[in-house]
Amino acid sequence: MRPAKVILYEVGPRDGLQAETEIVSAADKIALIDTLSASGLKYIEAASFVSPKWVPQMADAAEVMAGITRAPGVTYPVLTPNLKGYESAKDARATTVAIFGAASETFSQRNINCSVAESLDRFTFIMEESASDRIKVRGYVSTVIACPYEGPVKPQAVAEMARKMLDIGCYEISLGDTIGVGTPADVSRLLDTVLKVIPPEKLAVHFHDTYGQALANILTSLDYGIATIDSSVGGLGGCPYAPGASGNVATEDVLYMLTGMGINTGVDLDAIVAAAWQISDVLGRPPRSKVAVAKGRP
Ligand code: HMG
Ligand code: MG
């Protein structure tokens, strides 16, 4: 059941840097993405075309997309909450965008200022455009284990939202434990329900590591046949609308585990560790990952 190959979907330049209090310059973001492009990663989420009033850290998305050197075979998805964001992403020559909804009402309101039902209407407008533009759309469902405002979220609510996002045309759904509170027992309950309506090859998992459970949760997900894992170089990350959420699981920690388990990713660990130190130096602190610290500065 465990996959022999896994796709690592890098979210550091987006999920990571959107949550840093210090605003990282476009030049440093571009340098980070260019370093990551040489690591073997096939997906590097580069930016968000969201309101700069809501997330000032992503205000330079167009500059970042224009400045990066696109490596052959690498996709640089960007987040788009609405048609306005989608049009900007298209202007920036994005070939894949990501829409992001939630399984809980309050998080949806706080994150994208609309209800879950309204978010699906907005997403439908994006899907109509993207189909004719041949732009692929990834879907995120946030708060798959718990909502920072409402508490535990029912797996059935997640399965329903994920299925709806797939039905409107997303090629894959990433299940986000936005605040990083889940344990393997929660993940099993979640996947037992979601896999009844969505096959594993259409799912990715996106764990924040607030309570240190992310690697255990990934191992559990692998046993359910999930073969796409979101992670963030240097353990960067959080969510500005999820109080207390810490970084995503670190790419280098996931990669070390997968390599040790004989699971192929095509990604070079030393290159990821170098990227982790590169961005951590910009932020003026050591990487928040076991592996980058253990291996030390390259
Ligand atoms: P709103 O205020 O309801 O939007 O925000 P509006 O349509 O009423 O527009 C208000 C203003 O925003 C207008 O400007 C618009 O032009 C502008 P003004 O006239 O006041 O000068 N605007 C935009 N500007 C740039 N790009 C846009 C855009 N749209 C409107 N796309 C909106 C609604 C969705 C825009 C807002 O709530 C928003 O930007 N939210 C994004 C929040 C966000 O980025 N959260 C983090 C990402 S999600 C995440 O991290 C979770 C994830 O990692 C998975 C997990 O961990 O669970 C994916
Ligand atoms: Mg996230």
Quick: pLDDT tens for 257-273: 999 999 999 999 999 99
Pocket lining: 111 vs ligand 1, CB cutoff 6 Å: yes
Average per-residue pLDDT for the chain: 96
Query: Of all atoms in ligand 1, which is nearest to the CA of residue 142?
Result: 57
> How many angstroms separate the CA atoms of 178 and 286, rounded?
23
> How many angstroms separate the CA atoms of 126 and 97, rounded?
10
Whether 147 contacts 107, CB under 8 Å: yes
Residue 241 pLDDT exceeds 90: no
Pocket lining: 81 vs ligand 1, CB cutoff 6 Å: yes
- Domain membership flag for residue 47: yes
Residue 177 Cα, ligand 1 centroid: separation in angstroms? 20
Considering only CA atoms, which residue is closest to atom 46 of ligand 1? 239
Residue 188 Cα, ligand 2 centroid: separation in angstroms? 20
> How many angstroms separate the CA atoms of 144 and 125, rounded?
24
Residue 63 pLDDT exceeds 70: yes
- The pLDDT of residue 238 is 58
- Domain membership flag for residue 2: no
Is the entire prediction scored with pTM above 0.75?
Answer: yes
Count structural domains, the chain: 1
Under the banding of pLDDT at 50, 70 and 90, the label for residue 244 is low
Place of tokens 């070390």: 256
- Domain membership flag for residue 279: yes
Residue 266's domain is classified under what CATH number?
A: 3.20.20.70
- Domain membership flag for residue 14: yes
Residue 134 pLDDT exceeds 70: yes
CA gyration radius, the chain: 17
Pocket lining: 9 vs ligand 1, CB cutoff 6 Å: no
Residue span of the structural domain in which 209 resides: 7-295
- Domain membership flag for residue 1: no
Tokens of 232: 């963030």
Q: Establish whether 114 is a catalytic residue.
A: no
Pocket lining: 158 vs ligand 1, CB cutoff 6 Å: no
For residues 120-148, give the mean pLDDT: 97
- Domain membership flag for residue 149: yes
Which of the following is catalytic: 114, 147, 170, 239?
Answer: 239
Cα distances (Å, whole numbers) of residue 142 to 39, 113, 228:
28, 14, 16
- Domain membership flag for residue 200: yes
Whether 83 contacts 119, CB under 8 Å: no
What one-letter code names the amino acid at 29? K
- Domain membership flag for residue 33: yes
- The pLDDT of residue 21 is 81
Residue 240 pLDDT exceeds 70: no
Under the banding of pLDDT at 50, 70 and 90, the label for residue 242 is low
